Amino acid sequence: MRSRWGSKGCVAAARPLRGHWGKAPNQSAASGEREGDPGGFGAAYERGTGKKGYWAGSKWRGYPQKDGDVSAKRANSGGLSTGCAARGGLGLRSGDSVRSMGIWTTQALRARGIGRRKQARMVADGELHRVHRGIYVDGKATADSFARALTHSLADVALAGHSATQKHLGQKLTFPLELEGPRTTRGKKFQVKHTRRHTTQVIDGVRVVEPLWAASTSKYERRWLLERYYQGHRGIEKLRRDVKRMRRVPRHLREFLKRCSIGADSVAEKILADELRRAGFQVQHNVLFAGYRYDLWLKKLGILIEVDGYEVHSDAKSFVKDRWKSNDGAGLGCVVLRFSAECVRFHLKQVVAKVKEIALWIRQGRPRRDEVGVKGNPVFNWHEGVRGVFI
């Protein structure tokens, strides 16, 4: 047994050495503890609770309970379990929702018995990482963990700009993070810009603005983002809905959308559409005519273009449907052109030349081509894939 001196020089009550079992300072022997354990590993009970534990100095150290609420052993880590301390994380309790993601607030740390000094030491040791005022994460300090902490802890904050684009495309988030919210806030590794509220989505537990708004505020990979998110005929309807919800679309974004292959179903369609746009044509994708959807539509000229891939158009049912699709398109007064995906891939120059030739013919009033002395150029004269078949 040892004594300690009080603040006025008097001897305080005697207490056991640190690490041994016994009663707490200023407690009577009738408190219910079991004393006299020479090895220091006997069972003791906290007064009034029936919880097993022991006194280490002036602090009560409790045994783990059967419900798994406390880790099996306590390291000298101010509330960190030994398993979590080894990997730099905090021990979690059942019912912790935000904390189960590794997100901690100052209030939550205090509730776990981690004081200001211990908290500062944990930050210095890399067990905790400060995200913003009063917000911390455990484990690795990645851009994804920072984004999750900010969008969960700050009201109405979401990833925007290049960070939102990276999240929508499934890319790895990078610092500095770009976010939007009701107030402007800046940190070492992020910035929150003030903006009016927009529709958001939740991707992998992170709140993100919709792709159309992300493309309006950042040029990073926005073409890839818009064409991927708004692909297919459903993508066209989705874009219309998002534009209506956005209300005012910036002029630069409207002009950029005209140059994108919104609604395209295949890579070959995108390649051909991009080349036609560079040639001066206005191209629309997945246009509905007489119950059929045509891949490309040159509205001013009345030209419908189909890009057929062998995998989709090789069966008997598709063979019949494609013939009647071309017939019905011609019945509407349009010129229907069909190209294979291989033609677009290996003979793009000839495909675009054919479209230009038909466009010129339409502008001239559609004269009989045999009357003006136009000579044809059969495909077996130049197409590498069919030359050996017909010669």
Q: What is the structure's pLDDT at 314?
A: 73
First and final C-alpha spacing in the chain: 109
Q: Of 187, 207, 227, which one is at a domain's C-terminal end? A: 207
Please determine, for residue 172, whether its predicted confidence score (pLDDT) is greater than 90: yes
Q: Are residues 272 and 351 in the same domain?
A: yes
Please list the alpha-helical segments (H only) found in 259-307: 267-278
Cis ω before 176 (30° cut-off from 0): yes
Domain-located, residue 358? yes
Domain-located, residue 230? no
Query: For residue 1, how many C-alpha atoms fall within 13 Å in the half-sphere facing its CB?
Result: 10
Domain-located, residue 292? yes
Domain-located, residue 231? no
Q: What is the structure's pLDDT at 385?
A: 74
Please determine, for residue 76, whether its predicted confidence score (pLDDT) is greater than 80: no
Domain-located, residue 86? yes
Q: Are residues 278 and 380 in the same domain?
A: yes
Q: What is the structure's pLDDT at 246?
A: 86
Condensed to tens digits (0 to 9), the pLDDT of residues 324-370 reads: 999 999 998 999 999 999 899 999 999 999 999 999 999 999 887 66
Q: Are residues 109 and 54 in the same domain?
A: no
Q: Are residues 115 and 198 in the same domain?
A: yes
Q: Of 207, 223, 253, which one is at a domain's C-terminal end? A: 207
Q: Are residues 135 and 176 in the same domain?
A: yes
Q: Which of these ranges, 39-53, 109-123, 188-202, 205-219, has the smallest mean pLDDT? A: 39-53
Domain-located, residue 256? no
Count of structural domains, the chain: 3
Domain-located, residue 382? yes
Q: Are residues 278 and 187 in the same domain?
A: no
Q: What is the structure's pLDDT at 48?
A: 43
Q: CATH code at 276?
A: 3.40.960.10
Domain-located, residue 259? no
Please determine, for residue 147, whether its predicted confidence score (pLDDT) is greater than 60: yes
3-state secondary structure 203-236: ECCEEEECHHHHHHHCCCCHHHHHHHHCCHHHHH
Please determine, for residue 90, whether its predicted confidence score (pLDDT) is greater than 90: no
Please determine, for residue 144, whether its predicted confidence score (pLDDT) is greater than 80: yes
Q: Are residues 378 and 334 in the same domain?
A: yes
Q: Are residues 51 and 92 in the same domain?
A: no
Q: Are residues 330 and 376 in the same domain?
A: yes
Q: Are residues 101 and 145 in the same domain?
A: yes
Q: Residue 318's domain spans which residues?
A: 267-390
Q: Are residues 40 and 97 in the same domain?
A: no
Q: Of 207, 229, 257, which one is at a domain's C-terminal end? A: 207
| 165: nearest Cα among 227, 256, 237, 241 | 227
Condensed to tens digits (0 to 9), the pLDDT of residues 198-235 reads: 789 999 999 999 999 999 999 999 999 999 999 999 99
pTM greater than the 0.85 cutoff: no
Q: How confident is the model at residue 319 (pLDDT cuts 50, 70, 90)?
A: confident
Condensed to tens digits (0 to 9), the pLDDT of residues 288-305 reads: 988 999 999 999 999 999
Name the average pLDDT for the chain.
78
Q: Are residues 271 and 381 in the same domain?
A: yes
